[in-house]
Amino acid sequence: MDTYDLITRNAAEVVTDEEVRELADDPNGKRAYVGYEPSGVLHIGHLLTANKLIDLQDAGMDVVVLLADVHAYLNGKGSFEEIRETAERMKAQFIAYGLEEDATEFVYGSEFQLDEEYTLDLHELELSTTINRAQRAMAELAGDETAKVSHLVYPLMQALDIEYLDLDLAVGGLDQRKVHMLHREEVPDLGYEARPCLHTPIVADLTSGEGKMSSSDGVTISMEDSTDDIEQKVNSAFCPPTRDPEDDLENPVLELFEYHVFPRFEEITVERPEKYGGNLTYEDYETLATDLESGDLHPADAKSTLATYLDELIAPGRTALEELRA
């Protein structure tokens, strides 16, 4: 796989392709980041972007992980002391999951977001950004939560972080697209260069195939889950053998294979008794997906295999959590 293909593997969107191709021509030492609000245990959503960071490290890029403590404070996630304790746990989980510790720079937002220069630039953005524009970039609120001023400042800070972390590439899920577009539209007026962005997909709800998998609403898979937990969640997942082109449902089992398993394993083996055809070995996602749709691979066998490989990925992070809590 060439460098460009590795950088963009499983990307839902690249902004812009020309800029990312230029990065791929000379990736060594270039800096890419994802920002994470320290709000709990790592789950599938965190790990999807972490897989992309591992790709970028393999491509020769340096990785920055922003542990966004100030953002979490603005979002009401606790005191700074509580948030930083959570951030340290998340850091240990990311390393256990596979990020190269020596090649990953972990940065607290409070290390630069409280400085005078950053604050003045933030005020400049506040002056030039309308309330409507900030609201469009704002994260979705849960339930009947009422928007506060902090919710409007939050995306402006995200747009500014990309400059202050001296980045060459901003990475995030598709739900971060609005913030990245705000960055590209607004920071040039501050005299800064807009950076390219890469967006990873959003995995569908595990039990229905609708919407997105969420840690706050519905079932997700996290590093707290035991082997049995993972097996139970995957076995109950929505996994139709064929996809009706007339509906909007996705197959979360296939998505987890595509975005989580195949990027981390050169091949996977589906273990089956000889009376059901014996073991199957897959070196790429497309063949597995085709076999599932054709009936050559039964959904139950796909789920069992998925649970096994997800557990192998998550086990080191689960151990890291247990050691931190001991």
Q: What is the pTM of this model?
A: 0.94
pLDDT confidence of residue 85: 95
How far apart are the C-alpha atoms of 39 and 28, rounded to whole Å?
A: 32
Confidence of residue 17 (pLDDT cuts 50, 70, 90): very high
217 or 305, which is more confident? 305
Tell me the per-residue pLDDT of 257-298, one tens digit each, with 9 for 90 and over. Answer: 999 999 999 999 999 999 988 999 999 999 999 999 999 999
Cα angle 168, 173, 174 (rounded to 5 degrees) comes to: 105
CATH homologous superfamily, domain 227-325: Tyrosyl-Transfer RNA Synthetase (1.10.240.10)
Confidence of residue 53 (pLDDT cuts 50, 70, 90): very high
Confidence of residue 217 (pLDDT cuts 50, 70, 90): low
Tell me the per-residue pLDDT of 144-171, one tens digit each, with 9 for 90 and over. Answer: 778 899 999 999 999 999 999 999 999 9
How far apart are the C-alpha atoms of 120 and 126, rounded to whole Å?
A: 10
3-state secondary structure of 154: helix
Residue 216 has pLDDT above 60, yes or no: no
pLDDT confidence of residue 140: 78
pLDDT confidence of residue 303: 97
User: Which residues make up the CATH 3.40.50.620 domain(s) of the chain?
Assistant: 3-200
How far apart are the C-alpha atoms of 258 and 288, rounded to whole Å?
A: 10
pLDDT confidence of residue 242: 72
Going by DSSP bridges, is the β-strand pair 169-173/62-67 parallel, antiparallel, or unpaired?
unpaired
Token readout for 10 is: 């499983």
**Contacting residues for 23 by C-beta, under 8 A, at least 6 apart:** 7, 30, 61, 168, 169, 196
**CA distances for 148 relative to 37, 140, 141, 160, angstroms:** 18, 12, 10, 20
* Helix 299-325 with 285-294: angle, nearest 10 deg: 130
Confidence of residue 243 (pLDDT cuts 50, 70, 90): low
User: Which residues make up the CATH 1.10.240.10 domain(s) of the chain?
Assistant: 227-325
Tell me the per-residue pLDDT of 71-112, one tens digit each, with 9 for 90 and over. Answer: 999 999 999 999 999 999 999 999 999 999 998 999 999 999
pLDDT confidence of residue 142: 65
Residue 326 has pLDDT above 60, yes or no: yes
The CATH T-level fold of domain 3-200 is: Rossmann fold (3.40.50)
